[in-house]
Amino acid sequence: MDGGAFGAGKAGGAFDPQAFIRQPQTLLRFVSWIFSIVVFGSIVNEGYVNRLDESEEHCIFNRNHNACNYGITVGVLAFLSCLLYLALDAYFPQISSVKDRKKAVLSDIGVSAFWAFLWFVGFCFLTNQWQASKEEDNPLNEGGDAARAAITFSFFSIFTWGILAFLAFRRLRDINFQEEYNTLFPNSPSLLP
Instruction: Give per-10-residue mean pLDDT for the chain (193 aa).
Output: 45 76 94 97 88 79 91 97 95 85 94 97 95 75 86 97 96 78 65 52
Q: What percent of the chain has pLDDT over 90?
A: 53
Residue ranges of domains in the chain = 21-179
> What is the structure's pLDDT at 84?
97
> What is the structure's pLDDT at 126?
95
> What is the structure's pLDDT at 101?
87
Q: How many helices (H) and strands (E) does the chain have?
A: 5, 2
Using an 8 Å Cβ cutoff, are 39 and 74 in contact?
A: yes
> What is the structure's pLDDT at 122?
96
**Which amino acid, residue 162?**
G
Residue 48 pairs with which residues in a beta bridge? 59
Q: What is the enclosing helix (H) or strand (E) of 148?
A: helix 144-184
Using an 8 Å Cβ cutoff, are 47 and 146 in contact?
A: yes
pTM (predicted TM-score): 0.82
